[in-house]
Structure 1
């Protein structure tokens, strides 16, 4: 991995960074000449750094702080290695890291370790999940009191409305998107199709399917960092905030997945359009975990402004074939591409926790072998369906008490995440709507 630095002698500084429970990058800056030490010895953060609130503050009464002496964990480079940071002016490299105990045991409170634990359970069963994500974001002019779409660098004009699948909307920011795709290639992020979405200045970029769940999560985390940083370099903001505008649909992060057996066969495929028994078992697991995992899919107060009826985000716990109003959709495809689309998560999620929650629930469904309810037809918003939590506090309680969540995540992570969210819930009540928006715009 050090060869990358030798091949890029203009890089004089590096950042080492890990994702905390909110998906915020926490790390250090150091001269490139000391990079080898990170590989040989690692670096150290307090365990509590992985468990900060959205303001970057310690969690009150957390056992990770004063009770334990705020002791350090050991952070080592992930298999990703060095990556360029094209949104910075000076040539700089990013080295993703993750947390361990000093004896080398993975730290259960690290969200990337939580996903690795789920991936290992698939491997133990001779299975490999194939994952792709779709990330929505807004380009925003936040220089004034009111958020609005930035003027096109080409025309100088602002488009006040959304333009679904509009080439004009994409072309208006052509320089930005060209640089974004070049940066994704340099960072080995498999960015595929870009489209304009329903909101003003809203876009979606899909990631290619891959049979490495950890890399898929890395890609989503790095992509969010890249888009936000590159937008600032162009003089505006980019935000994955769930609902920046009251009057427009919010940002989602949809996830498509299938599962391969040891021979590379898609276990969701039985040659029919309906899919296999195993597809339905995975659906049943995802539905059973939906209430408890809502906090992962909607981790912030603003997240619940998106999860409302008739706003292109699911609210009922249901599945369907080729139906975008349902929480789980089985897209039309050739049999070998049979897959599940999980449509609940907002763009403000931690990708590691989100992918772990979905894959973990599907695996528990495969183990249980239960049948889901019948797939729905028509408008899910108009049906009498069990509902996901509609308030942040209810979602926190559902997360901590869910039997399915206890099967997917280790108790330490569950407790840490719940403590984080309870503290944020308390202090968010002191902020105005504008202050909340300013906070979430850049952090999530």
Structure 2
């Protein structure tokens, strides 16, 4: 409530929670009801967090007709009220997560799923430190063909990718300046930005932090913010995995290390190779990778990104300082020894992705799994086991993976499977143009 008192011009509030696809579901509420929302929360049907990508109910879901479509209780997260700088009128956003009416966490809520993994780390006296890197395209989607928007500075369109080009960044300097100012307002720790390999493609890193829930919140809010600011400049920002067939797709790389309660990095052995704990964590991530692919590549378009020689991993392997690997150990000082997980696309639900990666790593540490030898050279030339090659295969791998059912509640797993099977069925009816139109803004 302090934020609202400091911003008396705010007249409306949005309350929102992330559904299984990471889409914000919520309500618009007059600001005069803010105190009641803060203290008592609000209600949505449980089924709202289990809608498909079109926003439709899941057919035959027990959450809908079978149970009478009952309400869950949505309470504010630790984040409190935030500004929504992309809207014209001063507006507050109150992020929520879902509980049962008796106060129990709702197991179908993706944020609650991540909290469950974090609780496992707390029980082991460990603290995960997490950072995400997000790639996105700026796109002129006003015509039938997607293309790079004209620079607000020069009015010119650049048709090719320019890796680490200051000229490409400067062409959209007004947009990035506004975006960084908005990140400051929303307490999103945006760090370095670079231009990427695709036309109008950029990457922004979010700073590492010893709070996986806030890291996932920041990632979810950042995607919402980037899309909103871009529309104010007359173009789209898209985290869609592969909007252009001929160019690399969007990834969401996640870096993590694990600390003891006294702040010691359990991956740090004082040298470049890291500890046994690092290799156990790597082994856990590799073992869970086939079953986790549906979370890292949740949509039909996601699999257009996961192809050889397209700057996205296809093989299940790890390496030191190698960007062709699914799991990379970056060069760093020993105290900063960490794992970079490179499989996820920009189109993911960050709560489920962070939960899947941290949960798999902890499984590996608990089981003292032995990682295979790291490879050297080009991953695409190695004889590695492969990720599921299409959406249907990934759905089946998710269904049968023991690690997935160890990380996530059965209820969430079942809901997610129903959602993805329904989407798989109905996506077959869409043309390529309709597919792009669906995913460009929603993911």
> Which residue of the partner structure matches residue 114 of structure 1?
113
Q: Deviations over 1:61-117 (max 9, x none)?
A: 000000010000000000000100000000001000000001100000000000000
Q: How far apart in 2 are the matches of 1:263 and 1:10?
A: 44
Q: Secondary structure of the residue that 1:250 maps to in structure 2?
A: coil
CA distance in 1, matches of 2:442, 2:334: 40
Q: Partner of 2:282 in structure 1?
A: 283
Work out the CA distance in 2 between the residues paired with 1:301 and 1:283: 27
Partner of 2:15: 16
Match of 1:335 in 2: 334
Instruction: Give the corresponding residue for 1:184.
Output: 183
- CA distance, structure 1, for counterparts of residue 255 and residue 246 of structure 2: 28
- Shift in Å at residue 42 of structure 1? 1.1
- After the TM superposition, which residues 398-409 of structure 1 pair with which residues of structure 2 at under 5 Å, given as runs? 398-409=397-408
- Is 1:376 the counterpart of 2:375? The answer is yes
The residue that corresponds to 1:353 in the other structure is 352
Structure 2 residue 98 is the aligned partner of structure 1 residue 99: yes
Query: Equivalents in 1 of 2:376, 2:334: separation in Å?
Result: 21
1:46 & 1:225 partners in 2: Cα distance?
23
Please identify runs of 4+ aligned residues in structure 1 that moved more than 4 A: none
Measured against aligned partners, the alpha-carbon deviations of 1:155-191 in whole angstroms (never above 9, x if no partner) come to 1100000000000000000000000000000000000
The 5 Å alignment of 1:413-432 reads: 413-432=412-431
Structure 2 match to 1:387: 386
SS of corresponding position for 2:387: coil
Q: Which runs of 5+ in 2 are unaligned?
A: none
Question: Cα distance, 1:143 vs. partner?
Answer: 0.2
Q: Which ranges of structure 1 fall in alignment gaps of 5 or more residues?
A: none
Partner Cα separation in structure 1 for residue 291 and residue 62 of structure 2: 24
Matching residue of 2:231: 232
Report the counterpart of residue 168 of structure 2 in structure 1. Answer: 169
Distance 2:393 2:139 in 1: 31
Distance 1:68 1:386 in 2: 42
Cα distance in 2, alignment partners of residues 33 and 435 from structure 1? 41
User: How far did residue 266 of structure 1 move?
Assistant: 0.2
Distance 1:44 1:322 in 2: 47
Question: What is the distance in 1 between the residues matched to 2:382 and 2:3?
Answer: 55
Cα RMSD (Å) of the superposition? 0.4
Report the Cα distance in structure 1 between the residues aligned to 2:273 and 2:86, rounded to whole angstroms.
Answer: 45
How do residues 269-280 of structure 1 correspond to structure 2 at under 5 angstroms?
269-280=268-279
Is 2:248 the partner of 1:249? yes
In structure 2, distance between residues paired with 1:189 and 1:439: 27
Q: In the alignment, does 2:91 pair up with 1:78? A: no
CA distance in structure 2 between the aligned counterparts of 1:101 and 1:398, rounded to whole angstroms = 30
Match of 1:6 in 2: 5
How does 1:192-341 map onto structure 2 within 5 Å? Answer: 192-341=191-340
The residue matched to 1:313 in structure 2 has which SS? Answer: coil
Aligned length: 443
Shift of 1:262: 1.4
SS state at 1:418 partner: helix
Taking the aligned partners of 2:5 and 2:40, their CA distance within structure 1 comes to 20
1:40 shift after superposition: 1.8
**Paired residue for 1:26?**
25
Whole-Å separation in 1 of the counterparts to 2:62 and 2:47? 9
State the shift of 1:279 in Å.
0.2
Query: What is the Cα deviation at residue 272 of structure 1?
Result: 1.3
Task: Give the secondary-structure state (helix, strand or coil) at the position aligned to 1:76.
Answer: strand
Aligned partner of residue 284 in structure 1, secondary structure: helix
TM-score with structure 1 setting the length: 0.99
TM-score when normalising by structure 2: 1.00
Deviations 1:394-428 (CA, angstroms, capped at 9, x unpaired): 10011011001011001000000010000000000
Task: Tell me which residue corresponds to 2:58.
Answer: 59
How far did 1:263 drift?
A: 1.1
- The Cα shift of 1:390 comes to 0.7
